[in-house]
Amino acid sequence: MSSQPSHALSVQEGSPHPLGSTFTGDGVNFAVFSAHATRVEVCIFDEAGSTQIGCVTLPEYTDEIWHGFVPGLLPGTRYGLRVHGPYEPENGHRFNHHKLLLDPYAKAHMGVLEWAPELFGYTVGHPDGDLSFDERDSAPFVPKCVVVDSRFEWTQTDRLRVPWQETVFYETHLRGFTIKHPGIPEHFRGTFAGMARDEVLRPIRELGITSVELLPVQMFVTQSYLEDKGLSNYWGYDTLGFFALQQRYMDGPHIDEFKHMVDRFHAHGLEVILDVVYNHTPEGNELGPTLSFKGIDNRSYYRLMPAGDGPGPRYYVNDTGTGNTVNLSHPRVLQMVMDSLRYWVTEMKVDGFRFDLATILAREPDGFDEGGGFLKSCRQDPVLSSVKLVAEPWDIGPGGYQVGGFPPGWAEWNDQFRDTVRAYWKGDEGTAAQLAQRLTGSADRFNKRGRRPWASVNFISAHDGFTLADTTSYNDKHNEANGEDNRDGHSDNRSWNCGVEGPTDDPAVLELRARQQRNMLATLLLSQGTPMLLAGDEFGRTQQGNNNAYCQDNEISWVDWEAAETASGRSLRAFAARLLALRRELPVLRRNRFLTGHYFEELAGKDSTWLTPAGDEMQPAHWEDGHTRSFALLLDGRAPVSALPVAAHDVSVLILLNGWQEPVPFVLPPAPGGGSWQLRIDTTDPALGSDGEGGFDRYVATGRSVVLFAARARA
């Protein structure tokens, strides 16, 4: 197609900084990185995004950045890029100026991606495959970039900066959380505006949550194979625009909607944590479409196979399992990711990030490198080093499992906590010693280099896997609705259906399931580390046994607010709220340093002591006994909370864990400091008041139960 404008647009030299499109008050500056392009054009479209009304060639090339200034353009201008250069797949180059490309730095998009053969740089079905060259225009099928006006009047001017040891994460999907919420007008359901409403935020804060982690809200696409099956990319782990918002969550290309949501979160005392995906893009491998990075500078943006005896740079490194891997070893690609993160903090005022497949981001050509460019950049950056950074510390590449391997300043999802807690309450043998590690902050993984217990983000369930209720209701996954013959999703869920697979009216099974859910909630919220709840687990949300609902934008994934109003739903939520209130009330449950088990002469005791049901201290033989199911943990509230030998004055707690199916009598140790044990939690009795009975020296723990006592030392 012709790249000539349909009407005249003037262009000036402009500036190579900042990258992307920037409205200056009298026009728009464009700057695009490409180390291997020969020409870059900016094409302007009408308001509907359907007709190209002008096109300019960026006149200057400075430090591998193409740039130019177009006078008279205003915010709201729709545009795309056409990038010229060699089409040499065997050398890693896939330039095709017939394909309209998204600006990697675009702050907003309009329109949706429509899958069509024109999106591909090669001719689909051609005998030469990706070595062929397609000359059809892709503009009618791709979204258009939008120039934004970033001005916004905030009512909450500062981030909340919730201390790590007080943090409680709540993972949720913005659309799924709001789409059926009865307190949201229908027009706002599934949007940032709906999530911003007081009817949504107030109950989250009242539950005891401090930080809401939103599944991806950056611009993502649904792959064609899902659309062909009538499914969608519900979770959003296929980001194409690292600076732009997902348009379906908005009324239009107006970033103010997101800013207003963040402002309301902060007004309610809630942090906003974004789940972000910088490890791959939806452009896939050599047979994938050309949508942005592949056509701008494929050889820079992606990790390609090395030249030589191997397959060569025609093919992509696939450590993500999605076809490609973003090349953060390249300085400009690393800059893009860092610029994106800083944008969300400084311009959008979010409070932190959870990084999908974070091991990928720390990979250099030789593999995971704890001193790699991305991790070093985050550590020294004055903006990013001050926000919450959470890693999903695994990928499918060599050496990809890195729980505990990230540097100081990072927290990490701890799947060992999830697996151990589920296995213990399921009744698996030989889990007691592992559970002890998880209860006390997983020091075996994180107690090094001055890291703190909060580095372990503990969870029982997350978006990926069974919900808490399904962990107690299904032995096996039931993913038939995903259209993959139930082959997808994890098979090792460490779940137990309590005797019946799926829904039941059996009151004994329902009571046991409810108690097992309370047991796991209690284990999570009474453990050292940073707890994370999956939205809806506090009232028993189910996905009908689907443990991989990534493509289910329907009742399988949506939060069922009617279930929250049932008697069982209200009871479980009240119990979760009580646990979180206890966590706030009792500092010993959220110590900012690891428990050591060391003896303190001035206290005549240890900061933590493991006890048998008979009241004796646990010995190695007890831990090595695979049949050990019942034990207790004593946390002395007088133990120093810093390296200074200064006694604390916190309340002590005693946690009884009975994973055995029968009642077990416990002999309670003397309360530290001469206090008296007061019963605060028994998962057998969810209605137990906060001011439970006192003066216990013995207690019979019901089969499969958690019991918490608290005692204040005498003055």
| Burial (0-12, 13-18, 19+ Cβ within 10 Å), 640 | middle
pLDDT at 173 over 60: yes
Size (the chain), residues: 715
pLDDT at 251 over 80: no
356 catalytic residue (yes or no):
yes
More confident residue, 360 or 640: 360
Q: What is the C-alpha separation between 23 and 28, in angstroms, rounded?
A: 4
Which residues make Cβ contacts (< 8 Å) with residue 646, sequence separation at least 6? Answer: 640
Helix 198-207 to helix 567-585 angle (10° resolution) is: 60
Enter the tokens of residue 459: 């969870």
Q: How many CB atoms lie within 10 A of CB 690?
A: 11
Label residue 644 by pLDDT band (50, 70, 90): confident
Query: For residue range 348-386, what is the model confidence (pLDDT) as tens digits?
Result: 999 999 999 999 999 988 889 888 899 999 999 999 999
Say if strands 705-711 and 652-658 run parallel, antiparallel, or are unpaired: antiparallel
**In 73-231, alpha helices (H):** 174-178, 192-195, 198-207, 224-228
What mean pLDDT is predicted for residues 160-179? 97
Phi-psi sector, 700: left (phi>0), alpha (psi -120 to 50), beta: beta
Q: Identify the weakest region by mean pLDDT among 175-189, 255-269, 684-698.
A: 684-698
Query: For residue range 2-56, what is the model confidence (pLDDT) as tens digits?
Result: 333 345 799 999 999 999 999 999 999 999 999 999 999 999 999 999 999 999 9
pLDDT score for 1? 36
pLDDT score for 604? 80
Label residue 244 by pLDDT band (50, 70, 90): very high
| Burial (0-12, 13-18, 19+ Cβ within 10 Å), 382 | exposed
- Please name which of 559, 549, 568, 553 lies closest in space to residue 503, comparing C-alpha atoms: 568
Query: For residue range 274-330, what is the model confidence (pLDDT) as tens digits?
Result: 999 999 999 999 999 999 999 999 999 999 999 887 899 999 999 999 999 999 999
| Burial (0-12, 13-18, 19+ Cβ within 10 Å), 708 | buried
Token match 């038939």: residue? 480
pLDDT score for 252? 66
What mean pLDDT is predicted for residues 659-678? 96
What is the helix (H) or strand (E) element at residue 612, kind and residue range?
none
pLDDT score for 694? 80
pLDDT score for 246? 97
Rounded to 5°, the CA angle 396-397-402 comes to 80
Sequence-separated contacts (24+) of 557-563 with Cβ below 8 Å:
557/173, 557/176, 557/234, 558/175, 558/176, 558/179, 558/180, 559/172, 559/176, 559/177, 559/179, 559/180, 559/181, 559/535, 560/180, 560/536, 561/180, 561/181, 561/182, 563/536, 563/539
Q: What is the C-alpha separation between 382 and 403, in angstroms, rounded?
A: 25
pLDDT score for 253? 66
Catalytic residue, chosen from 103, 130, 257, 392, is: 392
Averaged pLDDT score across all residues of the chain: 95
pLDDT at 528 over 90: yes
Say if CB 406 and CB 375 are below 8 A apart.
Answer: yes
Which residues make Cβ contacts (< 8 Å) with residue 579, sequence separation at least 6? Answer: 521, 522, 525, 526, 681
Q: What is the C-alpha separation between 81 and 44, in angstroms, rounded?
A: 9
Q: What is the C-alpha separation between 238 and 284, in angstroms, rounded?
A: 10
Three-class secondary structure of residue 677 per DSSP: coil
Q: Identify the weakest region by mean pLDDT among 244-258, 437-451, 473-487, 665-679.
A: 244-258
What mean pLDDT is predicted for residues 128-136? 98
Q: What is the C-alpha separation between 712 and 715, in angstroms, rounded?
A: 9
Enter the tokens of residue 23: 């409205």
- Phi/psi for 44 (5° steps) reads -100, 140
CA dihedral 239, 244, 248, 249 (to 10 degrees): 110
pLDDT score for 692? 67
Enter the tokens of residue 290: 């050309």
Query: For residue range 197-240, what is the model confidence (pLDDT) as tens digits?
Result: 999 999 999 999 999 999 999 999 999 999 999 999 999 999 99
Could you give the C-alpha distances from 654 to 473, 634, 679, 689, in angstroms and in order? 30, 5, 9, 17
pLDDT at 423 over 60: yes
What is the helix (H) or strand (E) element at residue 261, kind and residue range?
helix 256-267
Three-class secondary structure of residue 62 per DSSP: strand
What mean pLDDT is predicted for residues 598-617? 91
Three-class secondary structure of residue 513 per DSSP: helix
CA dihedral 542, 543, 549, 551 (to 10 degrees): -120
Rounded to 5°, the CA angle 26-27-33 comes to 145
153 catalytic residue (yes or no):
no
What is the helix (H) or strand (E) element at residue 565, kind and residue range?
none
Model pTM? 0.96
Say if CB 573 and CB 519 are below 8 A apart.
Answer: no
Catalytic residue, chosen from 297, 356, 415, 538, is: 356
